[in-house]
Amino acid sequence: MSDLDEIVQLVTIAGERHIHPDFSTYVDDVDMADIRKLYEDMVVVRRLDAEATALQRQGQLGLWAPLLGQEAAQIGSARALEADDFAFPSYREHAVAYCRGVQLKELMPFWRGTSLSGWDPNKYNMATPAIIIGAQTLHAAGYGMGVNFDGANSAVITYFGDGATSQGDVAEAMGFAASFAAPVVFFCQNNQWAISEPVTLQTKAQISHRGHGYGMPTVRVDGNDVLAVLAVTRAALELAREGGGPTFIEAVTYRRGPHTTSDDPTRYRTAEDEAEWIRRDPIERIRLLLESAGALSEGDVKAIGDHADAAAAELRRGCLELEDPPAMSIFDDAYAEPHSLIDAERREYAAYLDTLDA
């Protein structure tokens, strides 16, 4: 698709537009009002992320996986999807869920521990968070093969991190998807760290080379450039729908927060590194672009900020309104049919709960 080592960029960190010979045409229809909408999306999801992090710090969530810094990678790719495409995320794609229309309160139960999932995947064409690293890529490959068997023309996207590319599941998923020309976009957010393990230790080759090794087109994109991500994802989805099979996208970005709220990144990375990536902030460059085009007034900034605050308040309300499920319901959906092991565990747990009442 593009030179293996090139990083596709359409907007510089100073907010200037670049023309790319292969990819600019994919965003020819995107006008300043659309770019302002992408900007708004990023501002809102950053605000939601901050609110969820605060909820965890206040003891209202068991855990949260912040997306701070990865807004452009997620919004750009998710806004490239059609309604009948299907997304298979990891656990950090809250912005993708937002774009798919998942209700804000449905983002919370998984992290508050009141449900094993959160939303109905078929309602939004998006699976719920996958904690097992890389498992979702297999689901995507299988779903994509199913799309081909059905003769449908929808596409599939799956999200995973740089660390996940070392996982066997991802290797199997890419192998099957390539062999069967499954319409899957493998969207890797290279956020530089797999918890405390840097990408330089993860792989001696560039991440994007991994897709190339399976014989699929690969593209490396500036993951902090929402327009470039939108363009390359649209190109990959189009190829998938036309029967061209899978594409591997490496979105080069940076996780600015901790891996999860249980992590302390100051133990393994430097302040200089963090400062460098703040300079490449995905929201700031679009703000500069809009302002220089006279497409973002003070009133717009205020309205977008108000919208973000209202969304954060809705997220908080949804979280605090969640009810604890009955303890015994944990066993209800483990198997579709009765299962003797689950029955034994159910009896054991009921006996344990009785000891608490006594």
Q: Smallest distance, Å, CB 63 to ligand TPP?
A: 11
What's the sign of the alpha-carbon dihedral 241, 4, 42, 33? negative
Identify the active-site residue in 255, 280, 285, 316: 255
Q: Is 7 in the site for ligand TPP (CB under 6 A)?
A: no
DSSP 77-123: HHTT--TT-EEE--S--HHHHHHHT--GGGGSHHHHTS-SS-S-HHH
| Length reported for the chain | 358
Residues between 173 and 192 that touch ligand TPP (CB under 6 A):
191
What part of residues 104-143 is at the interface with ligand TPP (CB under 6 A)?
A: 131-133
Please select the residue that binds ligand TPP; options are 36, 105, 234, 259, rule is CB under 6 A. 259
**Closest listed residue to residue 13, CA positions, set 254, 281, 251:** 281
| The only residue of 118, 129, 161, 245 in contact with ligand TPP, by rule CB under 6 A | 161
Structure tokens at 340: 């003797």
98 tagged catalytic: no
Rounded Cα distance between 107 and 294, Å, is: 35
Report, in Å, the least distance between residue 49 CB and ligand TPP.
Answer: 13
Q: How near is the Cβ of 300 to ligand TPP at its closest, in Å? A: 32
- The reply to whether 143 belongs to the active site is no
Q: Which is nearer to ligand TPP, 23 or 160 (CB)?
A: 160
If binding is defined by CB under 6 A, does position 257 make contact with ligand TPP? no
Please identify, using beta-carbon distances, which residue of 154 and 253 lies nearer to ligand TPP.
253
Task: Please enumerate in sequence order all residues whose Cβ is within 8 A of that of 121, keeping only pairs 6 or more positions apart, or say none.
Answer: 127, 128
Question: What is the residue type of 266?
Answer: T
201 near ligand TPP (CB under 6 A): no
Q: Please state, in angstroms and rounded to a whole number, the distance separating the CA atoms of residues 289 and 125.
A: 32
Give the nearest residue (CB) to ligand TPP.
Answer: 161
Give the distance from CA 127 to its chain's centroid: 11
- Catalytic status, residue 255: yes
Q: Tokens at residue 123, please?
A: 């309602």
Select from 76, 129, 163, 282 the one that contacts ligand TPP (CB under 6 A).
163
Residues interacting with ligand TPP, by CB under 6 A? 92, 131-133, 160-164, 191, 193-195, 255, 259
Residues annotated as catalytic (active site), given as ranges: 255, 259, 268
